[in-house]
Amino acid sequence: MAGMGRRRIAFFVPHMGCGRRCVYCDQNVITSDAGGHVTPEAVAEVASAQTSPVEFCFFGGSFARIGTPRMRAFMDAVRNAPKGSAVTFSSYPGDFDGDAGLDVIRVLKDYPIATIELGIPTLDPVVLKTCRRDDDPEAVARAVARIRDNGFHLGVQMMIGLPGQSTASVTRDARTLASMVPAHESWHFRLYPCLVLRGTELEGMYRRGEYEPLSLEDGIMAGGAVIFEAERLGFTVIRVGLLESESLKKSVVAGPYHPAFGELAMSEKRALSLSSENPGGPWRIERQALSQLTGHGGRGLRRLAEMSDISEREARARLVC
């Protein structure tokens, strides 16, 4: 029941349910919420005011880790919304592992769940440990399989530029996850660049010289390469880059930050897909997608020209709209 054309309403629940803090994370900054708490009562009020089905999204924390009574309270609140409404939330893969994970699954089966989005920044055990994530690749795989086998639609949230991570390892992880997708489904895919945010443990690592973030250009190239691969593998890419906000802008100390990071990564992906479909051109492109090549100072066109070893002028001449 993912998607179905419903309007989405996002509730940000920063760090709700999170145990240890992952080294790069500050959801208060990422969700521009200074710690305001969303309550089931507030959700019920919003739900009652709706006139058509809505997808209620709980992001910014580990929803399945807040305890099943509280999960039920939030999801019961959604029952006040018109029929056809559903819930999407982000969570930690480990929340679905072991006996406690089975309890969570049992609770979820009582509610209309649109998508369970799992934070799977990486499947590399060393990178997971460095980032203070408390799950390991085997636990992630067990959780993914359990969610899938219980018929839920999944979304994966991956990252690039983590300490010790490479683009090759991200695409390898995406392939591993893609091998678990049921044939009739397309899982959602979000990709976030790792940024050094003020006050996080990663800032300390960066200042001590223990972590070198991606440059903006490297981040865009890695982002483009990963979403190119993710789409090829059958994922539906629904977001690239963090939501732009004043609080995010003020908190970034280093890393591949740009307010239009997603668009820039899409320009890289478009150049990659055109050049791999037909090295050297000509390239057929829909008129509405042309801005992916010509926008942001013609970055996509420049990359297409570089990949094809021709001038930008020649690359433009080989575009067919």
For residue 15, the minimal CB distance to ligand SF4 (Å) is: 6
Rounded least distance, CB 92 to ligand SF4, Å: 5
Residues 266 and 227: beta-carbon distance below 8 Å: yes
172 burial class (0-12, 13-18, 19+ CB within 10 angstroms)?
middle
> Which of the residues 223 through 252 are near ligand SF4 (CB under 6 A)?
none
- Which of residues 22 and 66 has its CB atom nearest to ligand SF4 in the complex? 22
Between 191 and 293, name the residue whose CB sits nearer to ligand SF4. Answer: 191
| Cα 62 from Cα 165, distance rounded (Å) | 23
Q: How far is the CB of 201 from ligand SF4 (least distance, A)?
A: 10
Closest approach of ligand SF4 to the CB of residue 142, in Å:
18
Site string for ligand SF4, 49-88 (x = CB under 6 A): ------------xx--------------------------
For ligand SF4, the closer CB: 61 or 101 = 61
Shortest Cβ 14–ligand SF4 spacing (Å): 8
- What are the angstrom distances between the C-alpha of 107 and each of 64, 74, 94, 264? 10, 12, 16, 40
Burial class (CB in 10 A: 0-12, 13-18, 19+), 24: buried
Interface with ligand SF4 (CB under 6 A), residue from 6, 15, 270, 303: 15
Binding mask 257-286 for ligand SF4 (x = CB under 6 A): ------------------------------
E strand or H helix that includes residue 263: helix 261-277
What element of type H or E holds 67? none
Nearer to ligand SF4, 25 or 221 (CB): 25
* Residues 17-56: x where in contact with ligand SF4 by CB under 6 A, - otherwise, as a string: -x--xx--x-x-----------------------------
Could you list the beta-strand ranges (E) of 103-169.
113-119, 154-160
Q: How far is CA 191 from the centre of its chain?
A: 4
Alpha-carbon distance of 74 to 62, in angstroms, equals 13
Please report whether residue 188 would count as binding ligand SF4 according to CB under 6 A: no
Q: Compare residues 119 and 281 and give the one whose CB is closer to ligand SF4.
A: 119
Among the listed residues 24, 51, 55, the one whose alpha carbon sits nearest the alpha carbon of residue 196: 24
> Burial code of 183-216, b = ≥16 C-beta within 10 A, e = fewer?
eeebbbbbbbbbbbbeebebbebbeeeebebbee
Q: Of residues 63, 92, 187, 189, which one binds ligand SF4 by CB under 6 A?
A: 92
CB of 195 to ligand SF4, least distance (A): 12
CA distance linking residue 226 with residue 263, whole number of Å: 14
DSSP assignment of 295-315 equals HHHHHHHHHHHHHHTS-HHHH
Whole-number minimum distance, CB 265 to ligand SF4, in Å? 20
Q: Which is nearer to ligand SF4, 119 or 155 (CB)?
A: 119
Which residue, 38 or 221, is less far from ligand SF4 as judged by CB? 38
What is the rounded end-to-end Cα distance, in angstroms, of the chain? 35
Residue with smaller CB distance to ligand SF4, 101 or 300? 101
25/266 with CB nearer ligand SF4:
25
Site of interaction with ligand SF4 (CB under 6 A): 15, 18, 21-22, 25, 27, 61-62, 92, 119
